[in-house]
Structure 1
Amino acid sequence: MPIDSPIRHSLQLNALRAFEASARLGGFARAAQELKLTPGAIAALVKNLEREYGAALFERYAKGVRLTPLGETLQAQFTEAFDAVEEAARTLRRLAAPRRVHIVTSPALAQLWLGPRLPRLTELLAPIEISVTAVDEPPNLKRSPFDLCLFYTQTLERGQRRLADEQLIPVCAPALAGQITTAADLVGVRCIADVVWNDWEVWTRAALPERKFVAGGPGFSLYSIAVQQALLGAGVLIGRRSLVQRYLDSGELVAPIDCSVPLGMNIAAWRLPVARGNRVVAAVEDALAQLA
């Protein structure tokens, strides 16, 4: 009589990943953001996991969740397991496409700093292939599928390479520049900004230290749209020089007030842990520094 080998228990990998992310990040909402799901979907996956094993992993409260003693016991083990899976997947990607480098950066840097340099970067590095992903924040180092980070930083940490020190300067279309001769003239014009950044505040604090000035005008969640509005003559943009320099060079934008102020941040590049010994990724980082 043949004896079948035991069937390995089918794991609910999505549910286990939802539990691990929620435990590590401290809640369903943050886990949903990382896993690109809704908080409701994360909650349902965790609930299904608890139902299958017959034990609660989280205590639910009106303002969030907290791990049960069982959940706390399991968290480190599951985090270590998923870190190992992610590392294996990165190794697979690297070995399957050894001449491909994946850069992760912010939307503004992707569109206005890296994008214009990509043709030259590709020319310098051929046959290396470069792909770019834009996200709001630097990724989790252990869970990232990327090779090279490119973001604004306030202070350089070990392994980070400064590419440019950022400066702030008001810019506008040439037709609007005639209305502005001093910083005080900005009171009477529309001031365009990125709603997430406090660049106008930083600039006016340095340029108009003795005058209370609050920039009035539209704000945009994408800096590229703010730049587009400035190009269309909709107002004066507080420009990050690294992002608007090509428009200043072409004359599409001008700086009516010759007053640059340090932002206190720089553009930096750094390799993710899995790529630190990779010569192909190092070549891309060197090329970025050259083009900066």
Structure 2
Amino acid sequence: MAAQSPRPKSPPLTALRAFEAAGRLGGFTPAARELGVTPAAVTAHLKTLEGALGVQLFDRRHKGVALTELGARVLPDFTQAFRQLDAAVQHLRREAIPGLVRIATTADLAQLWLSPRLPGLRAQGLQVVPVPVPGPDEARNLADLALFPAPGPGHPAPLVAVAAPGFAPASRAALDPDRTLVLDGPLGDWALWAGAAGMPDFQPRGPVHGSAALALEEAANGAGVLVIARPLAEAALRQGRVTTLFGVEAASPLSLTLTPLRDPGDAAARVLAALSGR
């Protein structure tokens, strides 16, 4: 058999992933969130890649970065290649562990809504894949199912205001803007809840949290009143760690939506049916 020539040495895969993520997401910081590293690490990977190739892939600007003409031309090739690689890895996992079902979701939904439902589902081979950027497109090559907030039918996600039982104000007039907690994003929309409560001019002035789990823990410890999607607070409400205020629920345009990311197969279909019915 004739000897095969060795493959040419490629730049580090981590550097190529950093380039693809930063180009697709439009910045080093969102790329760092997706990859689970720091923005400084993404910057270092890209300097390594640009130095190895002797090219510039990003223009560094005062208010961010933008792909160079060369970077924009080659980015689609890398996006397609990494999608194919991710799909191949998922194929390997399915072949190695028949019946495994992976569900992609945010860390908050995994901890606060999905985790209480998992004991009965783990026997069906369910594995949770937390992703930093919500959305089926970001999860398509990582999992079989996706669970994210989205418009349309699904598990209703009305907004409620919650507080520790001993901290709950007696009336709307007693609600102190300085003793509030703000959950960043649509699952913590104070304006929507305040409008439903007949307080359209109320402006919370409390600290802003990016994590629903942390914000809910703070509320349970008496740090303030928190507006949050009810499904995220279900377990804490059931345990009596927090209570809802004034009997007000604000209808949300979002619901917790389960989406098959590929032909689900029998195992994924069973998980999908079990979660959709809860």
Give the alignment's TM-score, normalised by structure 1.
Answer: 0.78
**CA distance, structure 1, for counterparts of residue 98 and residue 216 of structure 2:** 37
Report the 3-state secondary structure (helix = DSSP H, G, I; strand = E; otherwise coil) of the residue aligned with 2:203. Answer: coil
1:174-213 counterparts in 2 under 5 A? 174-177=165-168, 179-180=169-170, 182-187=171-176, 190-196=179-185, 198-209=188-199, 212-213=201-202
Aligned match of 1:264 in 237, 253, 259? 253
CA displacement at 1:208 relative to structure 2: 1.8
Structure 2 Cα separation of the partners of residues 134 and 61 of structure 1? 32
Q: Which has the larger radius of gyration?
A: 1
Distance in 1 between residues matched to 2:98 and 2:70, nearest whole Å: 42
Q: Residues 29 and 175 of structure 1: is their aligned pair in 2 closer, same or farther, counting only changes over 3 Å?
A: closer
Structure 1 pair 44/95, CA: closer, same or farther in 2 (3 Å)? same
Which letter does structure 2 place at the counterpart of 1:184?
A
Distance change >3 Å, CA 218–CA 19, structure 1 → 2: closer
> In 1, distance between residues paired with 2:99 and 2:23?
36
Confirm or deny: 8 A CA contact 2:25 2:31 kept in the other structure. Answer: yes
**Pairwise CA RMSD of aligned residues?**
3.1
The letter for the 2-side match of 1:213 is: F
> What amino acid maps onto 1:9 in structure 2?
P
How far apart are the structure 2 equivalents of 1:61 and 1:219? 28
The aligned counterpart of 2:9 is: 10
Q: Give the equivalent residue in structure 2 for 1:278.
A: 265
**Structure 1 91/190 Cα, relative in aligned 2: closer, same or farther at 3 Å?**
same
Say whether residues 1:288 and 2:275 are aligned partners. Answer: yes
> Which of 128, 134, 137 matches 1:132?
128
Equivalent-residue separation in structure 2 for 1:216 and 1:67 (angstroms): 38
- Matches of residues 210-249 of structure 1 in structure 2 within 5 Å? 212-249=201-238
Q: In 2 relative to 1, CA 31–240 (structure 1 residues): closer, same or farther, beyond 3 Å?
A: closer
CA distance in 2, matches of 1:51, 1:247: 51
Q: Distance in 2 between matches of 1:22 and 1:252?
A: 41
Structure 1 unpaired stretches of 5+: 157-161
Rounded to whole Å, the distance in 1 between the matches of 2:177 and 2:67 is 54
- Once residues 22 and 219 of structure 1 are traced to their aligned partners in structure 2, the CA distance between those partners, rounded to angstroms, is 26
Matches within 5 A, 1:7-86: 7-14=6-13, 15-86=15-86
- What residue in structure 1 maps to residue 161 of structure 2? 170
Contact kept? 1:105, 1:134, Cα under 8 Å: yes
- Retained in 2: the 8 A contact 1:189–1:236? no
- For residues 166-209 of structure 1, the C-alpha deviation after alignment (integer angstroms, 9 at most, x for no partner) is 122233333345x51x4223248833332445422211122225
Q: Which amino acid aligns with 1:137?
A: V
8 Å CA contact 1:57–1:67 kept in 2: the answer is yes
| 8 A contact 1:57–1:70 mirrored in 2 | yes
Q: Structure 1, residues 225-244: CA drift from partner, whole Å, max 9, x if none?
A: 33233333444333432222
Check whether the contact 2:106–2:133 (CA below 8 A) recurs between aligned residues: yes
Aligned positions, number? 275
The percentage of counterpart residues that share the same residue type is 36
Tell me if structure 1 keeps the 8 A contact 2:177–2:204.
no
Residues 149 and 58 from structure 1, CA distance in 2 versus in 1: closer, same or farther, beyond 3 angstroms? same
SS of match in other structure, 1:269: strand
Q: Are the aligned partners of 2:148 and 2:258 in contact in 1 as well (CA < 8 Å)?
A: yes
- Give 5+ residue unaligned stretches, structure 2: none
Distance 2:228 2:68 in 1: 49
Match of 1:159 in 2: none
Evaluate the alpha carbon distance shift between residue 142 and residue 196 of structure 1 in structure 2; reply closer, same or farther with a 3 A threshold: closer
Q: 1:118 and 1:5, CA in 2 relative to 1: closer, same or farther beyond 3 A?
A: closer
Displacement, 1:286? 0.8
Tell me the amino acid that sits aligned with residue 125 of structure 2: E
The TM-score, its normalising length taken from structure 2, stands at: 0.81
| Separation in 1, partners of 2:58, 2:225 | 50
Deviation at 1:92, TM superposition (A): 0.9
Q: Indicate yes or no: 2:141 matched with 1:152.
A: no
